[in-house]
Structure 1
């Protein structure tokens, strides 16, 4: 009887172990799923033309879809490169130039993977696959339409458009002056074609629709509200007001905070930390903004050590940063990618302003979560129908610069309230930040540091305002110098008394001598 019970227990324990092991195997398999890798080719960056910036915008959009991008020009293409990828995108900005690289022409002839072409001239092979017929016109204005978005722009160049195509079409290009009504893009299985693509107008966002289907992305997207950039010497009282107003309106938001690497025990820094903690308590999310890069100045401490120290300063203060915000070129740099961004599995890539590479690499560092940064200023001329703004296909960060002006900031908050945009809560996604000392995790809105849930209701600290920012130098022999000073003072005083006494005696002697001379 005892033997049977023991055997039963063994079977039960084994069954329970199998039940526990099986889900973990599925999780591991999901985590190790191969990442989509795309080869992005271009013929020109189109400097000083209407197409300038479209290559960079596409790179950021691909990052928002979680794609790892390898980036090169047609002129620098090397034999065999295309065989390492099953997805290739070619941006043709210089339609009047023919491709002369024999390695690319040879490899492309035998390529059988997925292919997307952006530009006026469609390759013959792709034209046959999509059944595309193209034409050219010169409309004075073009109206872009997709989903419930629309925008009308003036036009001063010829426009190539599709007369017909086989497959799923996206959006519309409309012009009353030329009776133009054509699809913006077409996608049919492995192939896609977009004849027109510019950065800065609605076509930049329209690109997201065919791109998502071509990449096979099925994830639901959100729009997030992000304010950048906050410094220790920003108006922190206004930052708290902003947090209060958005919290009262029920709008989740994010701020990107500039890191501080020195003097982290100064009151100014402690007030900075208190303000960030206040933002966090008001349903705000903290991102670490990439530090300002000064390549001409040697760094006393390595970037990795500096970034890790600041993350630890935040974590030790009960603040959970959930990602990094950086200009896009950081993700194409070995030093910045590994040493600056390597602590985060989530990143927001901003448009490049000043590119200062240290170790440029053609293959980008990719992240489990990355949103497409979209300046709110660039959306002012884009219209939408209906009460609420429709969601874009990819996770999007609608960005505003933080304003150190109470009146303008209040107007900005009112405009956000009245826009009827639906903003997601970044904390609800899965984010991890890892240093040698701290593990910061966000999952379904719960923030933990080293598996300890953060107390968002912790009372604020009062920071001492009287502080000597310049350290007092140590004084050697201070007592001896004080005694010497007193002795010198006494000696001078005695000398003055003696000198005065001699003056009085001298005066009396002179007066007596003067009287004697008159008597004679």
Structure 2
């Protein structure tokens, strides 16, 4: 090979090397966005789930967060090579699955749960357990009946399209009635825990699914541990009347129910008497067993600057602690639990309350994991309301009952009555350990000792007098603004007078012209 031939082939070799490197980089990027095989639970879903199915996948992901369990999710094709790495696998409403995935699932020796009849029938057939198949149900809807305790029985209409009958072994719970037949909501069929429902948009279906997953994952013969619920007086604004807030606090103290006050952010005018008076009521609530958490600031910008958010949260926290009010955690909307920036901010809080504010949660199927779990929070999620009482019936996770502070006292008293009759106990936030980090600030509450930046702080209420002659410090710009406002009022009066005079001239001129016109006609 001469030199000229070699030089001619160099560009070709360079192009080939570039193509190979590009393919390798793309393959590596694709692997980064696949289930990692490192979680405890694997949720397998269809290739192109509908919006309703995506909501159910998000719910199961959040359910794993509530149970402090790590979860990966992906399609059968994405998960075929990593089936054996998980302790628990949930197959949700699967339609078509590749042979490799079915083969790997057939060899799987962990705990398997199947949601949906179609894939259940396919799995039993492929794994030599077809004898468990016992017919089909033509009804597309059925009545779900489920109990969370002997005295609490609930009913709900559920979708059971394509439902099959299987021969259960041992465990059954709940009941679905379709036509003249009854089927268990959850049952053990062969080596599979089976639930025929794939639509979990209803509150009872969701609550029952959570209860069954908890029971399925519990490795012992007894029942899983019980969790409590928290009463949260929500959206308490600093400009709220101190008398109105104290009235509600007194009702809660008298009721004996542990309560949490979620206070809104404050950044300006923290030295005003109204702010001092507001914090006095919060301090009074703390001294009588109430706890305080900070409600996350509302973010209007699409791109959030994390350093700016750190600074705001620091200022908000210090504004309260300077008055002897100690926010033990933070309340955030669902959207914060799926955003990378907000998740990083939440790492500064050990205790996190999550609320559903009705806005988009930002859940992304391509994330392939419940990212919130890896922050290792003490999570408190919204309760699943099953009736008008507004209290929780599930003891399998920590839940929050949110009541808007603007509600009338009658609504509060009715809610307290329901809480007293609830089978799920209420817990005091002061019975847990908490920590909050901010810029040059660290608050820690452990073994009932509160410290700020390493120095012990005392939780007490000391009434203080308010300065009635407080100097609000109006500067020259504010005085000019007030002066301009006064001048504007005078100007508006003058303009109104001129308009009236102008309209009067127009009316007078019109009448005169009309009189002259008719007079001229008569003269002719």
TM-score normalised per structure 2: 0.68
Aligned match of 1:183 = 184
User: Could you say what secondary structure the match of 1:286 adopts?
Assistant: strand
Q: 1:120 aligns with which of 117, 121, 126?
A: 117
CA distance in structure 1 between the aligned counterparts of 2:362 and 2:248, rounded to whole angstroms: 35
- 2:200 aligns with 198
For each residue in 1:303-337, what CA deviation from the matched residue of structure 2 results, as whole angstroms up to 9, or x when unmatched?
12222332333333333322222223322221000
- The SS at the match of 2:185 is strand
Q: Is the 8 A contact 2:169 2:190 kept in 1?
A: no
Q: Secondary structure of the equivalent of 1:379?
A: coil
Aligned in 2, Cα 1:432/1:382: closer, same or farther, shift over 3 Å?
A: closer
Equivalences for 1:101-500 in 2 at 5 Å?
Answer: 112-123=109-120, 124-125=122-123, 133=133, 135-138=136-139, 141-148=143-150, 149-154=152-157, 158=161, 160=163, 163-169=166-172, 171-175=173-177, 178-186=179-187, 191-196=192-197, 198-216=200-218, 218-296=224-302, 302-339=308-345, 341-351=346-356, 353-355=358-360, 361-363=367-369, 364-366=371-373, 367-374=376-383, 376=385, 378-380=386-388, 392-417=395-420, 419=422, 422-435=425-438, 437-443=440-446, 447-450=450-453, 454-464=457-467, 471-473=474-476
CA RMSD in angstroms comes to: 4.0
In the superposition, relative to structure 1, how do residues 79 and 183 fare at CA in structure 2: closer, same or farther (>3 Å)?
closer
Aligned length: 425
Over 3 Å counting, the alpha-carbon distance change for 1:297 and 1:207 in structure 2 is closer
Return the alpha-carbon distance in structure 1 between the equivalents of residues 321 and 169 of structure 2: 54
> Could you list the runs of 5+ residues in structure 1 that have no partner in the other structure?
1-34, 384-388, 476-520
Give the whole-Å Cα distance in 2 for the aligned partners of 1:223 and 1:300: 32
Q: SS of the counterpart of 1:232?
A: coil
After superposition, give the CA deviation of every residue in 1:281-323 in whole Å (9 maximum; x if it has no partner): 2312222222212134765962122223323333333333222
Q: In structure 2, what is the Cα distance between the partners aligned to 1:189 and 1:442? A: 49
Deviation of 1:62 after TM superposition, in Å, equals 1.4
Q: Which residue matches 1:493?
A: none
Cα distance change of structure 1 residues 408 and 108 upon mapping to structure 2, 3 Å threshold: same
Aligned to 2:63: 61
Change in 2 beyond 3 A, CA 1:194/1:229: farther
Moved more, 246-255 or 259-268: 259-268
Distance 1:119 1:426, change over 3 A: farther
> TM-score, normalised on structure 1?
0.68
Q: Displacement of 1:472 after TM fit?
A: 0.3
Structure 2 CA distance for aligned equivalents of residues 107 and 468 of structure 1? 75
Is 1:290–1:324's contact at 8 Å kept on the other side of the alignment? yes
Q: Which runs of 4+ in 1 moved over 6 A?
A: none
Corresponding residue number in structure 2 for 1:88: 89
- Cα separation, 2, equivalents of 1:390 and 1:129: 39
Question: Based on CA coordinates, which of the two structures has the bigger radius of gyration?
Answer: 1
C-alpha distance after superposition, 1:31-67 (max 9, x if no partner): xxxx9643334336643x6x67433332222111112
**Unaligned stretches of 5+ residues in structure 2:** 1-37, 479-524
Whole-Å separation in 1 of the counterparts to 2:405 and 2:452: 28
Query: SS state of the match for residue 300, structure 2?
Result: coil
